A = this chain, B = another copy of it.
Amino acid sequence: MPEPPSSETRPYHHGDLRRALVEAARQLLETEGPSAMSLRAVARQAGVSPAAPYHHFKDKGELLEAVAAEGWAVLGGEMMAAMEDAASVPDPTPVLLAYVHFARTRPALYRIMFDGARSAESLPFLTDAPEGSPFALLRERLALADDCRTVAEIELAIAASWSAVHGLAEMAGFKQFEHLKAELGGELPFLEAVLRRMKPGQIAD
């Protein structure tokens, strides 16, 4: 664990407190839950006074946004990697699986990312995704997955894909499905089986 550094190891000036605060927040979020992620607790975790964060963030909300933004960046990277690994096949399942896997391994972080995106009423990197970003690539891949038709058909595929991965990510933890997971040989096969069943990226019937 990235311990709160003892006073003699850390100089008066931190060096990169901003990054340290975001990291401390992410860690608190994951280990103690969202209600434990107060500004004071984050500062404490980073080994710094409660007022220090205000030199890097306007208020608590801005820190939260930074945490979420970093989360989206990491998720984007993992989706991109999955896409490159499976570059030869047009099947979108690996990318979708990468999304679900991210959300399953960092559920609390994923929650604040999603909530932030909801209050912003759009998913970052999805709508205004720069050309070549993983989200833009996913859109292209979905458009190509079958012989694409109308814009509406592609949009339907996107809506279905996103609903599928989000829903699956949040439902996969329920005890309810443990029997099925065991039968299929673990969580990953389970996730893949459910995803493939929904065929969210497929355009036509």
CB <8 Å contact, A180 and B159: yes
Within 8 A of B (CB), among A90-122: 114, 117-118, 121-122
Please tell me if A176 contacts chain B, counting CB pairs below 8 Å: yes
Q: Report the count of interface residues on A (CB-CB < 8 A).
A: 41
Within 8 A of B (CB), among A157-200: 157-160, 162-168, 170-177, 179-180, 183-184, 190, 193-194, 197-200
Contacts of A175 in B (CB 8 A): 121-122, 127
CA distance A170 to B170 in the complex (A): 11
Of A172, A173, A190, A194, which is in contact with the most chain B CB atoms at under 10 Å from its CB? A194
Describe A's contact surface by its main secondary structure: helix
Instruction: Return the contact of A180 from the options B152, B164, B172 (Cβ within 8 A).
Output: B152
Please tell me if A126 contacts chain B, counting CB pairs below 8 Å: yes
Please tell me if A62 contacts chain B, counting CB pairs below 8 Å: no
CB <8 Å contact, B152 and A162: no
Contact with B along A25-57 (1 / 0, CB 8 A): 000000000000000000000000000000000
Contact with B along A125-148 (1 / 0, CB 8 A): 011000000000000000000000
Q: A121-B174, A198-B200 known; 20 other A-B pairs, CB under 8 Å?
A: A114-B170, A118-B174, A122-B174, A122-B175, A127-B175, A155-B177, A156-B193, A157-B197, A159-B168, A159-B190, A160-B194, A160-B197, A163-B164, A163-B167, A163-B194, A164-B164, A166-B167, A166-B170, A166-B171, A199-B199
